[in-house]
Structure 1
Amino acid sequence: MATVKEFSVEEKLSSLVNLQKIDSKLDEIRILKGELPMEVADLEDEIQGLYARQTRIEEEINGVTEFINQRKEAIKEAEALVKKYEKQSENVKNNREFEAINKEIEMQQLEVKLAEKHIKDANEEIAEKAITLEKAKKNIAMKEGVLASKKSELEKIIAANEQEETQYLKQAEAARAAVDPRLLASYEKIRTNYRNGLAVVPVERDACGGCFYAIPPQKQSEIRQHKKVMVCENCGRILVDEELNNNIEI
């Protein structure tokens, strides 16, 4: 049965320092990108929403245009009926028939006026929607211009750092595999607690390299001995001596 190698505390700490330095390099590259990835994603979502609004306005205009065409057809039908009734009125036999035909003519004339009013109102509605549509299109064009600019900026940053980032990502994967699983879990948890991502820091000028809390001489001596993993009492970061930290290069 194969034996599992037991790593010394110094080896465990060295693995952590190595991982921290690689992660810090990756953090630097992410800082260069800044908020650009999020801004690009937000702009893409916003533009998608604006296109949906544009489509909705266009559909509304089409709906109103169809309504206008229906009203125009109604006018044609009403005018045709008026002509029909007028022709019939020439052959009426009594006043009762004459009055009935006149009422039908008046009703169709009212239908024409009502349809004309509907058309007028609908054209005004289309004019308003056309203005809104034009504003929406200009807004989309402006947002797309901003998006193109930010994408270009982001692509330049990615291109400039792509090779280096790929290299560090591979190194980080290998480095994580070399760290004790329990220590790795603690390291990841500590990293998420701080914006600068520093979970492992050296003691510099008698203080924690993360929060600058003073480290007593006795504790500094214990840190240098590498007999156990020591943490800062103030911030909880893992502490290493400056010599071990400086000996690890990536």
Structure 2
Amino acid sequence: MNQHLKELIELSRIDNELDRFAPQIEAAQKKVAKEEKKVEAVQNEIDTLRQQIQESRDKIASYEEQISALSQQLQDIQKKGKDISTEKEMKALQIEEEIAKEKLTFANEEIERLNKVIETKSALLEEKEAELAQLSEELESVKADVDQELQAIEKEKEGLYKAREEIIRKMDQKILSFYEKIRKWAGNSAVVPVRKQACYGCYLKISDKTYSDVIRGEEIVTCPHCGRILYLEEVEAAPEA
């Protein structure tokens, strides 16, 4: 087999090996992303609960101010009652007192309701914080596993890159350029075997002459249909009985 063709076959093999790492890296990164989304979702729930609890506390503080003002208003009404001289003034003061008492009752009821809301949401917040702690631990564990996996991949890639550089250094640059042009559109199938007299890139049958040239392996032959570089796989001899 032509030496240049051997180099192309080996280069193609290495490039295919390097390309197969991409989905592995993507899958590893997705593992981390999946766990990060879980953590983010629970963190968002925690943030929302904290905000709701704070809003309830702010409302309670507002109602407490109202209660203080209403209590003072009722005291003032009682003082005014001592100086009333007409029935009309008495009725007006009674209406004012009733309205103040209704507001006071409503404010106390709202405070009681909001305290229950705070109690419920605080219990849920505690559960979510515990869940977040657990998910954070799981995330760190997944990150550690993925880091090891990526380090192993990088180590393997490093060896392949060195082998690739070694081949490229010895190759004819015109042939290398020819290979790279085909690889741009053919990807991992730039160099393909011929099986049953068919190109295993486009799966179309090649002519007898082209097939004969591939068998001889004296020069680089391309598929007349798709333009990929063709070669004949070496079949190991069957062991003798």
Q: Structure 2 residue aligned with 1:187, among 183, 190, 202?
A: 183
- The separation in 2 between residues aligned to 1:31 and 1:145, in whole angstroms, is 26
- The reply on whether 1:201 has 2:198 as its aligned counterpart is no
Deviation string, structure 1 residues 181-230 (Cα, Å, up to 9, x no partner): 45313213222xxxxx4442334676656788776764332123444432
Q: Secondary structure at the match of 1:202?
A: strand
- The separation in 1 between residues aligned to 2:124 and 2:168, in whole angstroms, is 55
Alignment of 1:101-112 (within 5 A): 101-112=93-104
Q: Secondary structure at the match of 2:99?
A: helix
- The separation in 1 between residues aligned to 2:161 and 2:129, in whole angstroms, is 42
- The separation in 1 between residues aligned to 2:64 and 2:147, in whole angstroms, is 55
Equivalent pair of 1:232/1:238 in contact (CA under 8 Å): no
The aligned amino acid for 1:154 is: V
How many residues in Structure 1 have an aligned counterpart in Structure 2? 228
- The separation in 2 between residues aligned to 1:79 and 1:140, in whole angstroms, is 45
The aligned amino acid for 2:17 is: K
- Give the TM-score, by structure 1 length: 0.70
Equivalent pair of 1:61/1:129 in contact (CA under 8 Å): yes
Residue identity (%): 24
Shift of 1:111: 0.8
Deviation string, structure 1 residues 46-76 (Cα, Å, up to 9, x no partner): 4334423422331222112101111121112
Q: Secondary structure at the match of 1:55?
A: helix
CA, structure 1 residues 28+60, in 2 after alignment: closer, same or farther (shift >3 Å)?
Answer: same
CA, structure 1 residues 29+77, in 2 after alignment: closer, same or farther (shift >3 Å)?
Answer: same
- The reply on whether 1:149 has 2:141 as its aligned counterpart is yes
- The reply on whether 1:38 has 2:34 as its aligned counterpart is no
Deviation string, structure 1 residues 120-177 (Cα, Å, up to 9, x no partner): 3433443454455445435534443442232222122233343332232455567679
The aligned amino acid for 1:25 is: E
Q: Secondary structure at the match of 2:85?
A: coil
- The separation in 1 between residues aligned to 2:164 and 2:37, in whole angstroms, is 32
Output the aligned Cα RMSD. Answer: 3.6
Deviation string, structure 1 residues 9-55 (Cα, Å, up to 9, x no partner): 963x4453233222233245556657222221243244334423422
- The reply on whether 1:240 has 2:236 as its aligned counterpart is no
Alignment of 1:226-237 (within 5 A): 226-231=218-223
- The separation in 1 between residues aligned to 2:40 and 2:167, in whole angstroms, is 41
- Give the TM-score, by structure 2 length: 0.72
- The reply on whether 1:160 has 2:152 as its aligned counterpart is yes
- The separation in 2 between residues aligned to 1:175 and 1:125, in whole angstroms, is 71
Match of 1:64 in 2: 56
Match of 1:194 in 2: none
123-132 vs 14-23, which deviates more? 123-132
Gaps of 5+ in 2: 235-241
- The separation in 2 between residues aligned to 1:145 and 1:132, in whole angstroms, is 20
The aligned amino acid for 1:241 is: L
Match of 1:26 in 2: 18
- The separation in 1 between residues aligned to 2:206 and 2:59, in whole angstroms, is 81
- The separation in 1 between residues aligned to 2:16 and 2:48, in whole angstroms, is 48
